[in-house]
Structure 1
Amino acid sequence: MTQQQPFKILVVDDDKSMRQSLIELLEAAGWIVSALSRATQVMEYLASASPDVILSDVRMPGMSGLELLASLDRQVAPPVVLISAHGDIPMAVQAIQDGAYGFIEKPYEPRRLLTVLRHAAEQNRMRRSNAHLKDRLFKLSGLDRILLGQTDAITDLRQEVLDLADTSVAVLLQGDTGTGKELVAHALHDLGRSPEAPFLALNCAALSADTFEVEMFGVAGESDGRLVAASGGTLFLDEICSCPPAAQAKLLRVIEDQQVLPVGAVSPVPVSFRVVSATNEDVVLAAEEGRLRQDLLFRLNTVVLSLPPLRQRRDDMVLLATHFLNEYAQVYEIDAPELDQDDLAALLAHDWPGNVRELRHVCERRILAARRGGGSVAQAIQSDQQFDEVPDTLREAVAAFERELIGKAIKAHKGRMDAAAEALGIGRRTLNEKIVKLGLDKEALL
């Protein structure tokens, strides 16, 4: 995170000694101070400068502080803090109602004055930052809006997608759950040579070898298979490491031969695909363990793109959160709440195990809370954490269940593997294989 720049303030007071006293106090506190003796000079000053806050006396010749406040455009002008030796409660109330950030009576208490000014300046910077982000988001289009961010990793990824979109090479997408692998696959298709062609997404974990040929190849004289219907477009193989071995063999044959043989047909039907695959696993390890055919991997990994996890994109947090808040605010027809300092702290403190998908859910929850007149980013994150340990797929859920069950059995039998295997109702060899596959550390369990 870059170091915050010093706050800038414009002091407006016709009393020279008071003006000098305020300048000395503020400069000692690290502020960059400009000063004017008349409120009538403020508009000309603001035409070429952007202070974070204005501190103005109330009673001045020519134009009072209240008149200055009324003349400013609240949408773009910095916040105004009024100070007066003649103030009373009605004047203070009127000043706040007219849009003043605060009202301080002379003689002022320096610490309180600095606190009020700092809060006003922080709020103004946050408002300007959000306005800048909204303006930037409004101007984004195409790939910039799909792969939103400005960190080096996401900028490089956008360039790689642009470079590869117009080719037909096979692309393997690697990244944690929720990093946007299907978004990238769609971007490769939509920016490619035939965006109007079909995009067929297959969840490989859900494929069945028994029904694969009927579903994918079709039945002669009865139905076209999904692969035939999607020919000419993009074949997206999601969770490729979870594909059943028999289905892997059939997919490999289709990719190599560029044809399918419908059930009951005599002659094959030609098909043509741009193949994009995705996984959140280590494909080399999956191939070594025999869960992913090595010859299929060689057909899929001509180019490998790695999607960075959100925890490595801290500088994109505010941009992404602002985008999602604005998006859901339109859906639910409310004004998007501004991100304050506490919201920023919550965004940066969280580890985001669910990545961009989790951030999107948090932002939707924040908007739903705003519809009820409350909520914060921290509360939205806390509400989401009860779901953090819930796997996204059946395969992950089964693996998590097996990991917990095997771990308990090993602990209960104090590391005696034969006894643990017997209690689980599986063989010792099967238990050993599962321990390796699930990444269990036997020593750590005991």
Structure 2
Amino acid sequence: MTDHPPFSALIVDDDASMRASLLELLEAAGWQARALSRATQVGDALTRWQPDVILSDLRMPGMTGLDLLANLDAVTAPPLVLISAHGDIPLAVQAMQDGAYSFLEKPYEPRRLLTVLRNAAAQARMRRSNARLTARLRQLSGLDRVLLGQSAEVTALRADILDLANTAVPVMILGETGTGKELVARALHDLGAAPDGPFLALNCAALSPETFEAEMFGVAGGAEGRLVAASGGTLFLDEVCACPPAVQAKLLRVLEDNQVLPVGASTPVSVDLRVVSATNEDIDQAVANDRLRQDLLFRLNTIVLTLPPLRARPDDISLLAAHFLGDMARVYEVASPELSAEDLTVLLAHDWPGNVRELRHVCERRVLAARRGGGTMAQALARDAGGEDLPATLREAVAAFERELIAKAIQTHEGRMDAAAEALGIGRRTLNEKIVKLGLDKEALL
């Protein structure tokens, strides 16, 4: 992971001393900053340089801050923060209603100015990051969409799959639970020489020695066995180390002879199967403990693919999360929640013992929470698989629901309390009373 570059700002002010003061303040705080004396110069400047935020005076000759706001592209332009004299507050409020990020009165308080600019810049970067993720997901096709990721490990894995797909060699897939072993097996099948052939996935832990022959080999004069039905396709042996020893011997005979003998039959039936196996166990330890026959292992592991755990590919987490959020949003028919900087911090700090499967479930919980008007990735991670914790009383539940709705409204409207109150359908005074009663920290939300 690389360090984030410093935030950048474009200053627009016709007062030379104010430009110099703002440049000095921002550069001392570690920002990259450039300054212009006229708002009419902004359009050309943005074609050459894309700052995270624009800081502009409200009243300027030629083009005012309001004019500048009207000329900026609402989708692609950086957020605009205005500085205004006290008498210009009605105009500044109008500017915020028209889409400006925020405004500050002169004389500004340096720490407050830096906080507002930092929040605006962080929001702009997250918006651009989400746009890049969306564009990347739209461009994916084929194996890129099946095995999502841009880390070196996943890129190499995709290359291996493409290289092996058209061969008939047995492949063993190693990896922790939830890393996508069956997904890789299906990709080998779908990209192989017989993608229209059957794909038979067997959970070896569920194979019974007593019923194995009848179910898998079939019965003379009766039902066709599953192995015969899968002939011409791929046999996927999942959890192969958990296969009962007696069944391992019978499977080995099928793999060596390419024949099955239905129960009660005297003539074997030929089968043509591409064999792919998978396990989350240490195969050498399984052989040493007599849980996996060594001769069966030698028949299965001509090629071994090892899938990396999610914690080893942190650069893929945001892409996977955006993909799963989009998928789940379509399933539940809601707008896909955007990933905030706080969401990404939480996701990157998690160890992901359940790997990609766990991330998918977390994203589903996040989308379900969005249907109710709230939720964060931290909350989605905190809930166990049994469901979310419920408040003990109805009063606590109502308070928690109000707190979540009000917090979201304040964040959505970026601290504009009149707009938040209108969106909630309550008066400004009622909103203030609820903020105090519920113990909400408005500054912490912004």
Aligned match of 2:33: 33
Is the CA contact (8 Å cut-off) linking 2:238 and 2:279 kept in structure 1? Answer: yes
Aligned match of 2:206: 206
Moved over 6 A (4+): none
Aligned match of 1:413: none
Query: Deviation of residue 386 (structure 1)?
Result: 6.4
Alignment of 1:31-180 (within 5 A): 31-180=31-180
For 2:320 and 2:269, the matched residues in 1 are separated by 45
For 2:154 and 2:181, the matched residues in 1 are separated by 13
Encode CA deviations 1:54-84: one digit per residue, 9 max, x unaligned: 0011111111101211221211110000011
Corresponding residue pairs, total: 387
How high is the sequence identity, in percent, across the aligned residues?
71
Segments of structure 2 that go 5 or more residues without pairing to the other structure are 388-446
Is the CA contact (8 Å cut-off) linking 1:92 and 1:103 kept in structure 2? Answer: yes
For 1:358 and 1:282, the matched residues in 2 are separated by 22
Aligned match of 1:384: 384
- The one-letter code sitting in structure 2 at the alignment partner of 1:123 is Q
Aligned match of 2:395: none
Is the CA contact (8 Å cut-off) linking 2:84 and 2:92 kept in structure 1? Answer: no
Aligned partner of residue 320 in structure 2, secondary structure: helix
Aligned match of 1:400: none
For 2:201 and 2:385, the matched residues in 1 are separated by 29
Say whether residues 1:348 and 2:378 are aligned partners: no
Aligned partner of residue 187 in structure 1, secondary structure: helix
Say whether residues 1:7 and 2:7 are aligned partners: yes
Aligned partner of residue 201 in structure 1, secondary structure: strand
Query: Deviation of residue 86 (structure 1)?
Result: 3.9
Aligned partner of residue 384 in structure 2, secondary structure: helix
Alignment of 1:46-445 (within 5 A): 46-384=46-384
Aligned partner of residue 200 in structure 2, secondary structure: strand
Aligned match of 1:404: none
Change (3 A) 1:87 1:346: farther
Is the CA contact (8 Å cut-off) linking 1:87 and 1:105 kept in structure 2? Answer: no
For 1:354 and 1:384, the matched residues in 2 are separated by 12
Q: Which sits farther off after the overlay, 220-229 or 168-177?
A: 220-229
For 1:133 and 1:384, the matched residues in 2 are separated by 28
Encode CA deviations 1:277-322: one digit per residue, 9 max, x unaligned: 0000011111111111111111001111110111111111111111
Structure 1 length-normalised TM: 0.85
For 1:116 and 1:386, the matched residues in 2 are separated by 40
- The one-letter code sitting in structure 1 at the alignment partner of 2:145 is R
Aligned partner of residue 304 in structure 2, secondary structure: strand
Query: Deviation of residue 162 (structure 1)?
Result: 1.0
Aligned partner of residue 78 in structure 1, secondary structure: coil
Query: Deviation of residue 168 (structure 1)?
Result: 0.5
Structure 2 length-normalised TM: 0.85
For 2:88 and 2:359, the matched residues in 1 are separated by 47
Query: Deviation of residue 93 (structure 1)?
Result: 2.6
Query: Deviation of residue 332 (structure 1)?
Result: 1.6
Query: Deviation of residue 92 (structure 1)?
Result: 3.4
